[in-house]
């Protein structure tokens, strides 16, 4: 009986050896990319102030690159709102003058909390991009402390927004269906 138990133990241990690669699964573990969600709005950062003591524009720069639009501010980041629209046609604030951008759809970006007694952006009025989703962006308004930008996109889109100490980066994406 002792010999049978010992033999069974040896047989079981031999069956637990390392895989040889034949007949086994070759499945590779891959991580799926993170799905970006649309960001509808964001609060001002604690370091943002609309009463900064300078005559320099609060928006230091705006840069379009690929499907991203990055704004750099002189200190902190303002409150913002992202508004998808059905066309790449916008109205300039406060005149109402039409602003036509490249693309078939659009995304409006509204910044709030600026000084209303001065120009808050003095960069390029239009920014071309290489897409494939973001084609063009333009400053469409700077009136009474509210600064507006429009983005012309090649398909219905929204933006996923990431914030740095004094930057807001709008990553234009196609919305996930059903959300």
Which of helix, strand or coil describes residue 144? coil
**How would residue 128 be classed by pLDDT, with cut points 50, 70 and 90?**
very high
Instruction: Please indicate, yes or no, if residue 20 is contained in any of the structural domains.
Output: no
Instruction: Please indicate, yes or no, if residue 122 is contained in any of the structural domains.
Output: yes
Instruction: Please indicate, yes or no, if residue 155 is contained in any of the structural domains.
Output: yes
- Please give the tally of structural domains in the chain: 1
The answer to whether 163 and 72 have CB atoms below 8 angstroms apart is no
According to the model, what pLDDT value does residue 39 have?
A: 94
Residue 85: strand pairing partners: 106
Q: Which domain holds residue 145?
A: 41-173
Instruction: Please indicate, yes or no, if residue 118 is contained in any of the structural domains.
Output: yes
Q: What's phi and psi for 57, nearest 5 deg? A: -60, 140
For residue 88, the domain's CATH number is 2.60.40
Instruction: Please indicate, yes or no, if residue 105 is contained in any of the structural domains.
Output: yes
Average pLDDT of the segment spanning 5-25: 42
Instruction: Please indicate, yes or no, if residue 112 is contained in any of the structural domains.
Output: yes
Average pLDDT of the segment spanning 25-53: 72
Q: What is the pLDDT of residues 57-93, one digit of tens each?
A: 999 999 999 999 999 999 999 999 999 999 999 999 8
Instruction: Please indicate, yes or no, if residue 69 is contained in any of the structural domains.
Output: yes
Instruction: Please indicate, yes or no, if residue 31 is contained in any of the structural domains.
Output: no
According to the model, what pLDDT value does residue 14 have?
A: 43
How far apart are the C-alpha atoms of 70 and 57, rounded to whole Å?
Answer: 16
Question: 89-91 and 79-85: which strand pairing?
Answer: unpaired
According to the model, what pLDDT value does residue 51 have?
A: 65
């Amino acid at each position: 009986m002792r010999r049978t138990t010992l033999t069974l133990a040896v047989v079981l241990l031999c069956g637990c050896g390392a895989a040889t690669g034949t007949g086994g699964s070759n499945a590779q573990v891959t991580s799926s990319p993170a799905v970006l969600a649309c960001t509808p709005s964001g609060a001002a950062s604690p370091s943002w102030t609309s009463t900064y003591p300078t005559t320099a524009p609060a928006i230091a720069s705006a840069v379009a690159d690929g499907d991203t639009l990055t704004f750099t501010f002189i200190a902190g980041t303002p409150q913002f709102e992202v508004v998808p629209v059905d066309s790449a046609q916008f109205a300039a604030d406060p005149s109402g003058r039409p602003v036509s951008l490249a693309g078939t759809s659009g995304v409006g970006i509204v910044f709030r909390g600026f000084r209303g007694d001065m120009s808050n952006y003095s960069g390029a009025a239009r920014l071309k991009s290489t897409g494939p989703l973001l084609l063009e962006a333009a400053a469409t308004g700077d009136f009474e402390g509210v600064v507006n930008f429009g983005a012309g996109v090649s398909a219905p889109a929204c933006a996923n927004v990431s914030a740095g100490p004094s930057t807001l980066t709008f990553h234009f994406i196609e919305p996930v269906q059903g959300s």
